[in-house]
Structures are given as structure tokens and as C-alpha cells.
């Protein structure tokens, strides 16, 4: 339509598409590239764990130290925080500031419960003498699971920062973009956790 | 209330919230959540209940369920499809998956053969 009118008014053929201008942000693609590079870090840690998973050095085996009911509860915490993060994104699209903040807070609480349960598990293992220095298996275990836990902790700090920003400035364009990056990061951590509970815990105790 | 004003006029001079970004829906998130719960509960049940009484078959099933659940999360939670960001998201993902598979499978393969060749007694068993 607009091309035709341009041709009529100018009397010359137009060699460009006169579409409506829409702001295209490359931030989300860039953040996705970051997540992919983070995936490679976890791939290296998974490969290390896969190679060392039976190197017990006479110490406790995976079946002796890993608590499967505990990790089932942990998995539930992270999965619920993933869906509440999704609810926060839906409320953000509807521009409901209050309920966005509410679901972000719920997400943060479930994330904090996850980190708390994991730290409790680590403390119990170290108290039993199954610390990271005991065997190659335990070194690889603490590195892989600990790196994931560190990511979740940093995610919670980021989440609190975003809640303060949304609370002060509202759901402006910049905050919406940040929240979408956070949502990608949070769902990505849940994807990594699928690998952790399957490979480290479920295959470990078989 | 400024938020109400924005809600009634979604295109009032502001950018729509990242119009090029993928939009989730309540139905999509709930579908993904239900699938994720099912795909999580089954492998836990297989291992905790020792249902199959066969470690190899259980291992393979746990891996299969993990891969399927990762795909479910990618589609329903990360909203990944071949169209998002003009296909660059998918291209980056395919590249990453190739790197991950080479890294993990390659490490396990090489180290398995290294262990096999370092078995005690192997050096003395060989004549000469």
C-alpha cells in the first residue's frame, strides 16, 4: 500500500520496503549467545564428572552419599520457580506491576529454598567426611553441582535487583527487556538442573 | 493509575514491550509445566522404586527422559522456535549442541579407552 503511494507521488520505482519501523533489539539474541556459552562451561563440567564419576579413591560411593528424596524435593522447588517465573512474564506482558512483583518474589523464594536445601546437603556431606577433597568423584560432584548452585544464587541477586528497579521505575521498556533476559537465564538454569539430577543423582545411585 | 492507562492504550507512544520477543501464554506455560512434572516424576519413580531391576535399561530411560524434558523446556519455557530472532537463536543452539556432544561423548570415549589400556598387568602381558 505505502509502496504504491510512494511510487505514485515520486513517479519513480522504490527499491526499498516501506514497512512500519519497529524497534528491534539485539539484546535478547546477545543474551541467548551468552547462555549458549554458559552451556559450554557446564558441558565441560559434565564431561569431567562423567569421566570421574566412579573414581571413589576408597571413599564413599555415590549411592552412599547422595540423597535421592532430598534431590526430588530440590527439583520440585526449581521446577515450581520456573513456572512462577513464567507467570511473572505473563503479568509483565499485561503490564500488571503488582502481580509481576508478586510472582517474581515467589520465584525468588522457591529459588532461595533450592539453594538452602543444596547448602544443607553440602554441609551434611562435608560433615560426614565426604568433602570435595576426599576423592575425584566428590571433587567433580562439588564443582558441577556447586557451579549450578552459584548460578542460581547470582540469579536470585539479579532478581532482587530487578524487583527494586521495577518497584521504582515500573514496567518501562528497559525493565521489561531485563526481565526477559532474567527469565531466559532462570529457565536455562532449570534446563541444566535436568542434566544434573538425571546424570549425577539418578544415574549415580543406580 | 498509570499502569491502568498503559493497559488500555498499549501503543501510546511507548514501545510495545519488546514486540519482537516471543510471547508466552498461560496455556503454553501450563502445558510445559505438566509435561515437565510427568517427565521428572517418571525417572525418579524408575530409580527410587527400582522398577525395572535392570540398571542398563533404567540408565537409558533416564537419559531419554532428560533429553525429552530439555526439549519441552526449550519449547514451552524458553519459547524457542526456528523463527525467533530470524533463526539465529536456533543456529546458535545447534552449534552449541554439536560442541556439547563432541565435548562430552569425546571425553568419555577417550578416557574409557585410556583406562582400558592402562589396566594393570597389560604391560607385563605383552611379550618383549
pLDDT (0 to 100) of residue B51: 86
pLDDT (0 to 100) of residue A11: 59
- Nearest residue to A20 (alpha-carbon basis) of B81, B11, B79: B11
Q: Which helix (H) or strand (E) holds A109?
A: helix A97-127
| Percent above pLDDT 90 for chain B | 53
pLDDT (0 to 100) of residue B24: 80
Give the separation between CA A108 and CA A156, rounded to whole angstroms: 6
pLDDT (0 to 100) of residue A170: 93
Give the separation between CA A175 and CA A167, rounded to whole angstroms: 10
Give the separation between CA A145 and CA A53, rounded to whole angstroms: 13
Residues of A in contact with B88 (CB under 8 A): 29
The answer to whether the beta carbons of residues A3 and A17 sit under 8 Å apart is yes
pLDDT (0 to 100) of residue B14: 44
Q: Residue A190: phi, psi to the nearest 5?
A: -70, -35
Q: Which three cell numbers stand for residue B15?
A: 514501545
Name the minimum distance, in Å, from the CA of B22 to any CA of chain A: 10
CB-based contact, B14 to chain A, within 8 Å: yes
Three-state secondary structure of A123-146: HHHHHCCCCCCCCHHHHHHHHHHH
Give the separation between CA A71 and CA A77, rounded to whole angstroms: 10
Mean pLDDT of chain A: 90
What sign does the CA torsion over A100, A101, A106, A107 have?
positive
B positions 75-104 inside 8 Å of A (CB): 77-78, 85, 88-89, 92-93, 95-96, 99-100, 103-104
| Percent above pLDDT 70 for chain B | 74
Q: What is the pLDDT of residues A47-98, one digit of tens each?
A: 999 999 999 999 899 999 999 999 999 999 999 999 999 999 999 999 999 9
- Among chain A residues, the shortest Cα distance to B101 is held by A43
Identify the band that residue B50 occupies on the pLDDT scale cut at 50, 70 and 90: confident
Distances from the Cα of A159 to the Cα of A100, A155, A183, B67, angstroms: 12, 6, 9, 28
Give the separation between CA B98 and CA A13, rounded to whole angstroms: 46
DSSP state of A117: H
Residue B122 reports pLDDT greater than 80: no
pLDDT (0 to 100) of residue B116: 83
Give the separation between CA B68 and CA B29, rounded to whole angstroms: 16
Residue B5 reports pLDDT greater than 80: no
Residue A3 reports pLDDT greater than 60: no
pLDDT (0 to 100) of residue B8: 41
The answer to whether the beta carbons of residues B47 and B53 sit under 8 Å apart is no
pLDDT (0 to 100) of residue A1: 46
Q: Is B87 left (phi over 0), alpha (psi -120 to 50) or beta?
A: left
Q: Which residues have CB under 8 Å from A176's CB, separation 6+?
A: A92, B17, B18
A positions 85-124 inside 8 Å of B (CB): 86-87, 89-90, 92-97
Residues of B in contact with A29 (CB under 8 A): 85, 88-89
ipTM of this predicted structure: 0.84
Other C-beta atoms within 10 Å of A9: how many?
A: 8
Flag if B14 and A173 touch (Cβ within 8 Å).
yes
pTM over 0.90: no
Give the separation between CA A89 and CA A206, rounded to whole angstroms: 38
Q: What is the pLDDT of residues A5-60, one digit of tens each?
A: 444 455 566 666 655 444 457 889 999 999 999 999 999 999 999 999 999 999 89
pLDDT (0 to 100) of residue B114: 86
Name the minimum distance, in Å, from the CA of B128 to any CA of chain A: 32
Q: Which helix (H) or strand (E) holds A48?
A: helix A27-52
* SS3 state of residue B49: coil
Residues of A in contact with B116 (CB under 8 A): none
Name the minimum distance, in Å, from the CA of A12 to any CA of chain B: 31
Residues of A in contact with B55 (CB under 8 A): 206
The answer to whether the beta carbons of residues B52 and B46 sit under 8 Å apart is yes
Residue A176 reports pLDDT greater than 50: yes
Amino acid at each position: 500500500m505505502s509502496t504504491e503511494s510512494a511510487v505514485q507521488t515520486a513517479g519513480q520505482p522504490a527499491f526499498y520496503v516501506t514497512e512500519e519501523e519497529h524497534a528491534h533489539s539485539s539484546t535478547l539474541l546477545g543474551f541467548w549467545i551468552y547462555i549458549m556459552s554458559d552451556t559450554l562451561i557446564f558441558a565441560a563440567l559434565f564431561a569431567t564428572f562423567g569421566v570421574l564419576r566412579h573414581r571413589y579413591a576408597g571413599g564413599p560411593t555415590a549411592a552412599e552419599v547422595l540423597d535421592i528424596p532430598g534431590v526430588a524435593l530440590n527439583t520440585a522447588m526449581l521446577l515450581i520457580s520456573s513456572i512462577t517465573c513464567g507467570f511473572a512474564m505473563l503479568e509483565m506482558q499485561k503490564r500488571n506491576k503488582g502481580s509481576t512483583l508478586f510472582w517474581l518474589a515467589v520465584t525468588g523464594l522457591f529459588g532461595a529454598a533450592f539453594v538452602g536445601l543444596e547448602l544443607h546437603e553440602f554441609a551434611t556431606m562435608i560433615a560426614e567426611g565426604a568433602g570435595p577433597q576426599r576423592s575425584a568423584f566428590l571433587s567433580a560432584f562439588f564443582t558441577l553441582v556447586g557451579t549450578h548452585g552459584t548460578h542460581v544464587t547470582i540469579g536470585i541477586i539479579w532478581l532482587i535487583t530487578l524487583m527494586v528497579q521495577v518497584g521504582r521505575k515500573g514496567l518501562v521498556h528497559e525493565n521489561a527487556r531485563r526481565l526477559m533476559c532474567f527469565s531466559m537465564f532462570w529457565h536455562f538454569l532449570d534446563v541444566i538442573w535436568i542434566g544434573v539430577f538425571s546424570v549425577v543423582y539418578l544415574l549415580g545411585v543406580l | 493509575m498509570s499502569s491502568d492507562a498503559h493497559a488500555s492504550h498499549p501503543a501510546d507512544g511507548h514501545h510495545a514491550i519488546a514486540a519482537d520477543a516471543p510471547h508466552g501464554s498461560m496455556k503454553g506455560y501450563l502445558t510445559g509445566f505438566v509435561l515437565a512434572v510427568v517427565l521428572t516424576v517418571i525417572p525418579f519413580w524408575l530409580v527410587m522404586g527400582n522398577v525395572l531391576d535392570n540398571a542398563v535399561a533404567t540408565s537409558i530411560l533416564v537419559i531419554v527422559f532428560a533429553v525429552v524434558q530439555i526439549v519441552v523446556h526449550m519449547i514451552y519455557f524458553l519459547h524457542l522456535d526456528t523463527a525467533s530472532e530470524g533463526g539465529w537463536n536456533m543456529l546458535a543452539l545447534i552449534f552449541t549442541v554439536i560442541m556439547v556432544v563432541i565435548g562430552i561423548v569425546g571425553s568419555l570415549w577417550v578416557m574409557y579407552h585410556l583406562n582400558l589400556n592402562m589396566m594393570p598387568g597389560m604391560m607385563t602381558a605383552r611379550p618383549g
